[in-house]
Structure 1
Amino acid sequence: MTEEEIISWIFLSIALASQTEPANIQEISNIADGINHAIPNHKELQTSISWLSKQLLISKFEKKYQLTDLGKLEYEKASKSTNILFGIWKNLELRIENINKNN
């Protein structure tokens, strides 16, 4: 997978795992496995979480993560045109590609 695919996969996993309260790494990994039928490795998780934090899309509370207001807005935009999980994932991937191009 590309860097953008991985980051968007983890972003989507955090969005879904933290809908009601911040989610820990195990909860995020479980959702990621459900989405992609693969468990993200440590590097994929840490690289993605670091990138998402630097972009102010997620925040950390102790050892748990959730979307920031900006992250929620990006998730809502990605979900607006589709309710299909893979469509949302693709929309997030495209958004992350745009952010990377502009940085």
Structure 2
Amino acid sequence: MFILELTYTAPLDRVDALLADHVAWLDAQYEAGTFIASGRKEPRDGGVILAVGDDRAAIERLAATDPFLVNELCTYRITEFRATKVAPQLAAFQEQLPR
């Protein structure tokens, strides 16, 4: 699983101008089954996305297609982690640690 943390590098008026494109991009990733949660940070200086996948390079390539990043409105910090304990609703994403 991956945590994608966006930090805005542009004023909010520029971010808001591309928000519809960013949301369409998010919707496509939800449809593909890659994203399982997302939202704005408070204070509103970026956002967070929870993504599933086995390949960090693929997640990095996907993040590079975000209209916010393409238009140089944000940076991404991607953290990979093993979801070894999850709520029942997320059981499909639970991982085992390597032995």
Q: TM-score range by the shorter chain?
A: 0.3 to 0.5
Q: Report the TM-score, using the length of structure 1 for normalisation.
A: 0.33
Greater radius of gyration (CA): 2
- Identify the structure with bigger relative contact order (alpha carbons < 8 Å, sequence gap 6+): 2
Query: Which has more helix, going by share of residues?
Result: 1
Query: Which has more strand, going by share of residues?
Result: 2
Q: Report the TM-score, using the length of structure 2 for normalisation.
A: 0.34
